[in-house]
Amino acid sequence: KPLLDFGFDTFAVAPSPALLPIPGEAAPGAEFRLASAYDAELAPCDAILALGEPLTYHDRDVDAEVRVRHFFRKASHALRGGGLLIFDVIEAEGEALDGRGWASGSDWAVLYESREDRAARHLARRIETFRLVSDGAYRRSEEVHSVRLFDRRAMTTWLEQAGFDVEVDAAYGRFELAPRRVAFTATRRA
């Protein structure tokens, strides 16, 4: 919505049909399509934002590095000189991300577990949700997220090879990212 408020034409993608209506309610006037960040067609633009780790979601049998490098080249072709590619990923190095926990409210509960395979640079997130739907009956759902972990130096090199100057930080301005998350601001060279 802030992009629309400043007069920018805004195009966004969501990888799940269930997710598509959510941003549409928050940002009426933006264009939304069902697609992954990798498959979306990128028209000439001034900025590409991929916030919340969308570039990290890959099935284990997919060559994530090839897909990400291709995305960087595609973004470089779409962006005008001085345009920005801003995104975040999870780093491969650092304190282990294994863990489990839960959160709940009066009519819902979420249980989560993450397991890291350092050798494969892979993180599996398992999330179970329970939502009260009628008198004492709960709807249960489960998701498993397959997440690729990346090397910061390699990613910086790939961006530079695609025509970007790169800055890396552990925050977006004053908004600090969770442990091992890094924010990339890549500026398209003229």
pLDDT tens-digit map of 147-157 = 999 999 999 99
Indicate the pLDDT class of residue 178, thresholds 50, 70 and 90: very high
What single-letter amino acid sits at 116? E
- Tokens 């995305």 correspond to 71
Flag the least confident range among 29-38, 84-93, 138-147, 175-184.
29-38
Report whether pLDDT(51) > 70: yes
Indicate the pLDDT class of residue 90, thresholds 50, 70 and 90: very high
Read off the DSSP letter of residue 116: E
Percent of the chain residues past pLDDT 70, beyond the cut: 99
Q: HSE-up of 14 (CA within 13 Å, CB side)?
A: 13
- Which pLDDT tens digit goes with each residue over 93-134? 999 999 999 999 999 999 999 999 999 999 999 999 999 998
Task: State the average pLDDT for the chain.
Answer: 92
Sign of CA dihedral 99, 132, 146, 49: negative
Indicate the pLDDT class of residue 169, thresholds 50, 70 and 90: very high
The better pLDDT of the pair 37, 109 is held by 109
Mean pLDDT of 46-51: 92
pTM for this prediction: 0.88
The residues near 20 (Cβ < 8 Å, ≥ 6 apart) are 14, 32, 34
Residue 1: per-residue pLDDT: 65
